[in-house]
């Protein structure tokens, strides 16, 4: 009897989900938002500075636990690796690294460059592997969901932190791949949502991922070309549209049962906040200024809610369980 609780806790590690890296994506996104707020909106820079260390600590802890799972339960990892839905969340690891590169580059340039090179290489591998996986295994329309954007469209994040670390040609490669597949997958996802069965409740938060590609693509395009031209405004406008659409649908998300997928709310909201700040700083557009403040407040409040629910359900042992 004395060993039973320990056995239960050790076995719980078997069901430690790859989606936990979405926590790093969310907190890192909010960190970058506060760093930009300190630069563009006169927020205290200490907020972004403190959150940088929190993001690094979270990545280290979540990675360490997943590495332990790799050695203790390799078959469980392989099951996730071969799963038509969970495979997409492995790219959350490389995206987390790319975001940590952005967060740390100004203060710790070597660390930032290391995160960027490793994250870029890993994400390129995940892009090629995931597309090959889809081609080699027939996919059901029910398997498609906005999480498909993570491994492929996530390429648009590479140029955001890659200026000065790679040539413009290399950065444009990743930007082009991300934008190209964003258009294709957007059509697939809308076809699935409109003409087939509705998303399962646990995947409803992933609808917010629709907001991320145009917002991040706008930021990346501005980083590459340093100006807000017609195409940049197009990307920004699409991001604003999805912001309005998701706000209009707010009642759809009320009363949702908690799942770890709630962290899909945070990164896209943070990306929109950053995009609005970049637009305001570049053009002086007052709408973008108000949008930036609004999105920063909304993202912060949502992070507190999701963080509270995550800790609460961890305490209740309702996260690392078999589905």
109 domain-assigned:
yes
With respect to residue 158, please indicate whether it lies within any of the assigned structural domains: yes
Measured distance CA(257)–CA(203) in Å, rounded: 11
Contact residues for 274 (Cβ-Cβ < 8 A; gap 6+): 29, 32, 33, 36, 215, 219
Q: Does any domain span residue 255?
A: yes
CATH number at residue 196: 1.50.10.150
Q: Where are the alpha helices (DSSP H) in 41-148?
A: 45-72, 74-81, 91-104, 109-136
CA 167 to chain centre: 25
Q: Which domain holds residue 155?
A: 4-315
Cβ-count burial 92-124 (b if 16+ within 10 Å, e if not): bbbbbbbbbbbbbbeeeeeebbebbebbbebbb
Residue 112 included in any domain: yes
Its pTM stands at 0.92
Render pLDDT for 233-279 as a digit per residue (tens, 0 to 9): 999 999 999 999 999 998 888 888 888 889 999 999 999 999 999 99
- Does the residue 322 lie in any domain? no
**Is 110 within a domain?**
yes
Residue 320 lies in a domain: no
| Tens digits of residue pLDDT in 117-154 | 999 999 999 999 999 998 888 888 877 888 889 999 89
Reduced to 3 states (helix: H, G, I; strand: E, B; else coil), residue 1 is: coil
Q: Would you state the structure tokens that stand for residue 31, as one six-digit string?
A: 């960190």
How many distinct helices (H) and strands (E) make up the chain? 13, 0
Q: Within a domain: residue 185?
A: yes
Structure tokens at 60: 């280290």
Report the number of distinct structural domains present in the chain. 1
């Amino acid at each position: 009897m004395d060993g039973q609780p320990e056995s239960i806790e050790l076995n719980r590690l078997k069901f430690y989900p790859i989606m936990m890296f979405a926590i790093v994506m969310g907190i890192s996104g909010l960190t970058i938002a506060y760093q930009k707020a300190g630069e563009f909106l006169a927020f205290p820079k200490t907020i972004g500075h403190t959150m940088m260390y929190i993001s690094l600590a979270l990545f280290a802890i979540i990675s360490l636990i997943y590495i332990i799972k790799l050695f203790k339960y390799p078959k469980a990892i392989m099951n996730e690796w071969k799963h038509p839905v969970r495979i997409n969340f492995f790219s959350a690891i490389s995206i987390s690294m790319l975001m940590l590169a952005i967060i740390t580059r100004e203060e710790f340039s070597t660390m930032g460059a290391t995160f960027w090179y490793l994250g870029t290489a890993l994400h390129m591998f995940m892009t090629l592997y995931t597309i090959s996986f889809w081609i080699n295994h027939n996919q059901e329309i029910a398997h498609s969901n906005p999480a498909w954007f993570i491994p492929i469209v996530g390429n648009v994040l590479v140029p955001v932190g890659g200026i000065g670390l790679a040539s413009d040609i290399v950065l444009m490669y990743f930007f082009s791949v991300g934008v190209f597949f964003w258009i294709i997958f957007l059509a697939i996802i809308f076809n699935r949502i409109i003409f087939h069965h509705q998303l399962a409740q646990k995947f409803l938060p992933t609808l917010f991922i629709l907001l991320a590609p145009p917002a991040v693509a706008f930021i990346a395009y501005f980083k590459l070309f340093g100006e807000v031209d017609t195409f940049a405004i197009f990307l920004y406008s699409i991001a604003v549209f999805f912001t309005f659409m998701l706000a209009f649908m707010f009642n759809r998300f009320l009363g949702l049962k908690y799942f770890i997928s709630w962290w899909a709310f945070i990164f896209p909201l943070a990306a929109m906040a950053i995009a609005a700040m970049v637009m305001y700083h570049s053009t002086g557009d007052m709408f973008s200024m108000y949008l930036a403040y609004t999105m920063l407040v909304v993202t912060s409040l949502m992070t507190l809610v999701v963080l509270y629910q995550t800790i609460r359900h961890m305490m209740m042992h309702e996260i690392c369980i078999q589905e």
